[in-house]
Amino acid sequence: MQSLVTNFSKSFFKPANLRFLSTAAQKFPSLIISANEYIPKGAYAERQAEFLKPDLNAVKKIDDVLKQKKIAVNAHFYMDAELQGIITACQTPNGVFIADSLAMADQCVKQVKSGFKSVAVLGVDFMSANARAILDKEGFSNVPVYKTSTKPIGCSLAEAAEKDVYKSYLLTEKKKAGNSPIVNLIYINTSLPSKAMAQDIIPTISCTSANVLRSVLQIAAQKPDCKICYGPDSYMGNNLEVMLKHLTTQPDSEIKKYHPAHNQKSIAKLLKNFSYFKNGNCIVHHMFGEKVVNNIRENYDDAYITAHFEVPGPMFQLAMEKIQKNSGTVGSTSDILNFIINKAKSTDESFKVVLGTESGMITKLSQMIQKTLKEHGSKNQTIEVIFPVSNDAVTVSNDKKLGIVPGVCGGEGCSTEGGCASCPYMKMNTIDGLLHVVEMLNEGKTEELKEYEVKNKISDNIVDKALKPIFAMRYFQKNKEFPEWAFQS
């Protein structure tokens, strides 16, 4: 992904296209990380840094039960800072796993196979449902899966694929295709029923933010006449279309750096055959709007820029401009993490980096940065991680001792004007919730636990249909091409 995006950016973004505001913007909060300490700048950063050194009593309380009761914890990168700080300090071998959604369900199976008797999944509901369904599919229906809240934990992007408008989009694209072959590329961050529904309408392949561009190019290489529709993330779809339009202006020699089977003519044909769903997005990445980007341009020209592939156009463009200078990346949460760590390993100089995704990544990122600096860095090297939080993402407090606190009235650190990067759904997973589940497990409160247990509401037929797009993606990751069965209903 990185090499493709790097090649793309070098000739697309010209200095004349850059826009700068003349009005000064307030600098963002940040966390300065050295080999031995964290120095927060600003209220929002102080909140994030507060739990990087966790409460050891809470750590021991959870860790003891994980070991005794053989409970595994499986969490997403976007968890609350307090929760992540505590669970990452647990020492139960293989008992805690924090990653993006693609890896979570697979790891649940590995944890159970290694001897764990139950799994607590900390994420949104489609993640815990995926874990339940896949464990059942693997023959572990007797292993309980628990949430840490009895309330529904939604996801704006996943829910976009569950609405009738997405189904209508697929039916319309199928009708427009007529007798021509057609494939639907569906983002991995969707539920199993959504994948199964799509598979019922159009042959469907899953993708991640790290491999979506490669997937589109490979489908077109294998099936030049194939119609390709993508969803449900509208920003990612638009970013893909921008890339493809640019490629049609490039010489064949440049295009072949992206994929050896393509040239100007084939990319033009691919673009004509490409469409994307225009009514879905992640509410967190939606916040990286123009106001936040203008602030970054004014105050952080010397910083590395990272951006999730789901961000809106202005943030996407900014990251792409930086890539041509070897100063940025666009991709998945794991891509962003790896980019920053690799930069830390490759230099002994201090640097700044803008974190263009959910701020929950800071726990794992901070720990990995400190480890890297201890092993590879110079004595005085620091890395400053910048949170692109809107100026509106703080609230004035009536308490004179507090002054301001992170968060607008609608929730901590979030603003419709851009950038808080704190998912309110993910933050429904709390340390109190996890402690409560762990205590009930320890005390054998079977009846009370039923409220937190994830029930299998997905039939085997739906699971089988939903896994086909995922298996097609897995095949592609391993073999660099898609199996023929992926293009069949």
- The per-residue pLDDT for range 125-144, each reduced to its tens digit, is 888 988 998 899 899 999 99
Please tell me whether residue 333 adopts helix, strand or coil conformation. helix
pTM above 0.85, yes or no: no
Question: What are the residue ranges of helices labelled H in 182-308?
Answer: 192-201, 212-222, 234-247, 252-255, 264-273, 290-299
Residue 82: is its pLDDT beyond 90? no
Residues 454 and 481 in one domain: no
- Sequence letter at residue 133: A
Say yes or no: 171 and 268 in one domain: yes
Work out the percent of the chain whose per-residue pLDDT is above 90: 45
Q: How far apart, in whole angstroms, are the C-alpha atoms of residue 489 and residue 485?
A: 8
> Domains in the chain: how many in total?
3
Contact 327, 291 (CB under 8 A): no
Cα separation, 136 vs 130, in Å, equals 10
Q: Is residue 312 part of a domain?
A: yes
> Are 115 and 180 in the same domain?
no
Same domain, 241 and 302: no
251 in the same domain as 173: yes
| Same domain assignment for residues 162 and 276 | yes
- What does the angle CA 351 – CA 352 – CA 356 come to, to the nearest 5 degrees? 145
Q: Which of 406, 438, 472 is the last residue of a domain?
A: 406
Residues 136 and 166 in one domain: no
Q: Say whether both 145 and 233 belong to one domain.
A: no
Residue 192, domain extent: 157-281+462-487
CATH code, 287: 3.40.50.10800
Inform me whether the pLDDT recorded for 396 exceeds 80: no
Nearest C-alpha neighbor of 362 from the set 325, 336, 380, 397? 336
Mean pLDDT of 324-342: 88
**pLDDT per position as a tens digit, 143-164:** 999 999 999 887 777 778 888 9
Per-residue confidence (pLDDT) for residue 25, from 0 to 100 = 52
Q: Is residue 259 part of a domain?
A: yes
Q: Is residue 50 part of a domain?
A: no
* In the predicted structure, residue 270 carries a pLDDT above the cut 80: yes
Rg (CA), the chain: 23
Task: Say if 43 falls within a structural domain.
Answer: no
* Residue 299 neighbours by CB distance under 10 Å: 16
The percent of residues above 70 in pLDDT, for the chain, comes to: 85
pLDDT score of 78: 78
Instruction: Tell me, yes or no, whether 40 lies in a domain.
Output: no
Same domain, 248 and 356: no
Q: Which of 64-78, 94-108, 395-409 has the lowest mean pLDDT?
A: 395-409
pLDDT of residue 287: 61
Q: Is residue 108 part of a domain?
A: yes
pLDDT score of 414: 40
Q: Could you tell me if 274 and 297 lie in one domain?
A: no
> Helix, strand, or coil here: 194?
helix
**276 with 189, same domain?**
yes
Is 217 inside a domain boundary? Answer: yes
Q: Are residues 348 and 262 in the same domain?
A: no
Query: Per the domain annotation, does 415 fall within a domain?
Result: no
